């Protein structure tokens, strides 16, 4: 995932909202949803990391794909592995696998939940240049979003929401041009979501809206109202941030806008035309905006905070089970 443009942070204080918010506290958007288990989500992150970096073309990547499909099949019989070919920024051929798990597949009204499961082949933002061609473990950048969605999948198998749900785990999100690359680099990110958005797993597929998770496991994560999401899917952003605020997570789901980011949701919005918002740890006051471990060899399991996984997972469940 890559920073595209940077706007001046727009900080809004929601002082007025505090005065009436507490009186509504008895009715939460989380009613009716099964309990999100943070330890379980953490275990799913750990299991991915234990394969090693899930870099496309490696045995670890192949083994993790199998594990993801097998794990999802515990909770739904409708799991499709969508294989596709793509070309990397430097022209090398790549083979990808998008993994799609559907719940209540015949329901017309659906919600799309997604994250990328591949990890970046090179730590090109590592402080040590010697690491710039070593792979990223991707505990946060990749495995965290998938870990949350696997736990969400388990919850969906416990009690059905009023909508069908499709969980799509995208491949080849993070094979974008190396920081040293001098050629064109547009659209070298999100190759799996570009493919799926133009060739969905089911012809004519659509959903009411989508939620993308990326880097949702860091301690003290700060999720802004991200610019690309606001451009294409402002009502989805409102829906998610309202649910988070009602659950008491306004400290993490901050009322601050960020610049526009390139992530899988860009292509879902552009090509599949499903309004989709990104929940991503990003703060323009940081060096790169992203967490310090972003695209470094330091993106390891020790950076994952169960509490952050829980905050995101419970928010996603509140949104899904809040649909009528």
Which residues of this protein are in contact with Zn ion, per CB under 5 A?
1, 141, 174
DSSP lists the bridge partners of residue 168 as: 100, 114
- Judged by beta carbon, residue 36 or residue 189, the one nearer Zn ion is 189
Q: Decide: 42 and 36 in contact? Cβ < 8 Å.
A: no
Separation between Cα atoms, residue 212 and residue 276, nearest integer Å: 7
**Residue 103 CB, nearest distance to Zn ion (Å)?**
27
Which DSSP letter does residue 127 get?
S
- What's the min distance (Å) between Cβ of 274 and Zn ion? 22
> In this complex, which beta carbon is closest to Zn ion, that of residue 141 or of residue 264?
141
The distance of closest approach from Cβ of residue 39 to Zn ion in the complex, given in angstroms and rounded to an integer, is 26
Q: Nearest approach, Cβ of 281 to Zn ion (angstroms)?
A: 11
**Is the Cβ of residue 176 or residue 322 nearer to Zn ion in the bound state?**
176
CA–CA separation, 58 and 228 (whole Å):
32
CB of 291 vs Zn ion, minimal distance in Å:
11
Q: Are 213 and 144 in contact (CB under 8 A)?
A: yes
- Contact between 99 and 168 under an 8 Å Cβ cutoff? The reply is yes
Query: If we measure between CA atoms, which residue out of 128, 135, 126, 175 comes closest to residue 296?
Result: 126
- The CA distance from 115 to 64, in Å, is 15
For the chain, how big is the Rg over CA atoms in Å? 18
Q: Which of 139, 115, 135, 118 is nearest to 178 (CA)?
A: 135
Q: Measured from the CB atom, is 5 or 74 closer to Zn ion?
A: 5
Considering the complex, state which of residue 75 and residue 223 has its C-beta at the smaller distance from Zn ion. Answer: 223
Instruction: State the nearest-atom distance from the C-beta of 239 to Zn ion, in Å.
Output: 25
Q: What is residue 84's three-state secondary structure?
A: strand
d(CA 62, CA 55): 9
Looking at beta carbons only, is 137 or 319 nearer to Zn ion?
137
Contact 116, 145 (CB under 8 A): yes
Pick between residue 120 and residue 154 the one whose CB is nearest to Zn ion.
120
Q: How far is the CB of 272 from Zn ion (least distance, A)?
A: 21
């Amino acid at each position: 995932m890559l920073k595209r443009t940077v706007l001046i942070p727009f900080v809004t204080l929601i002082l007025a909202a505090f005065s009436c918010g507490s009186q509504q506290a008895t009715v939460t958007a989380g009613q009716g949803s099964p309990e999100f288990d943070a330890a379980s989500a953490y275990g799913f992150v750990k299991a991915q990391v234990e394969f090693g970096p899930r870099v496309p073309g490696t045995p670890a990547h192949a083994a993790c794909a199998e594990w993801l499909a097998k794990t999802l099949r515990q909770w739904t019989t409708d799991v499709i592995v969508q294989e596709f070919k793509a070309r990397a920024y430097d022209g090398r051929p790549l083979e990808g696998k998008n993994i799609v798990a559907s719940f209540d597949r015949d329901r017309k009204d659906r919600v799309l939940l997604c994250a990328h499961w591949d990890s970046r082949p090179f730590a090109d933002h590592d402080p040590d240049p010697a690491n710039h061609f070593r792979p990223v473990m991707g505990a946060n950048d990749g495995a965290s979003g998938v870990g949350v969605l696997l736990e969400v999948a388990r919850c969906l198998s416990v009690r059905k929401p009023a909508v069908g749900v499709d969980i799509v785990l995208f491949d080849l999100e993070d094979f974008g041009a190396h920081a040293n690359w001098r050629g064109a680099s547009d659209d070298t990110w999100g190759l799996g979501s570009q493919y799926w958005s133009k060739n969905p797993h089911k012809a004519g597929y659509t959903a009411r809206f989508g939620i993308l998770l990326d880097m949702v496991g860091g301690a003290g994560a700060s999720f802004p109202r991200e610019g690309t999401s606001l451009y294409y899917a402002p009502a989805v952003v409102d829906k998610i941030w309202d649910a988070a605020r009602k659950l008491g997570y306004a400290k993490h789901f901050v009322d601050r806008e960020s610049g526009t980011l390139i992530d899988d949701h860009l292509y879902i919005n552009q090509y599949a035309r499903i309004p989709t918002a990104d929940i991503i740890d990003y703060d323009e006051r940081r060096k790169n905006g992203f967490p310090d471990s972003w695209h470094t060899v330091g993106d390891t399991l020790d950076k994952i905070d169960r509490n952050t996984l829980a905050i995101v997972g419970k928010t996603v469940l509140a949104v899904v089970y809040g649909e009528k």
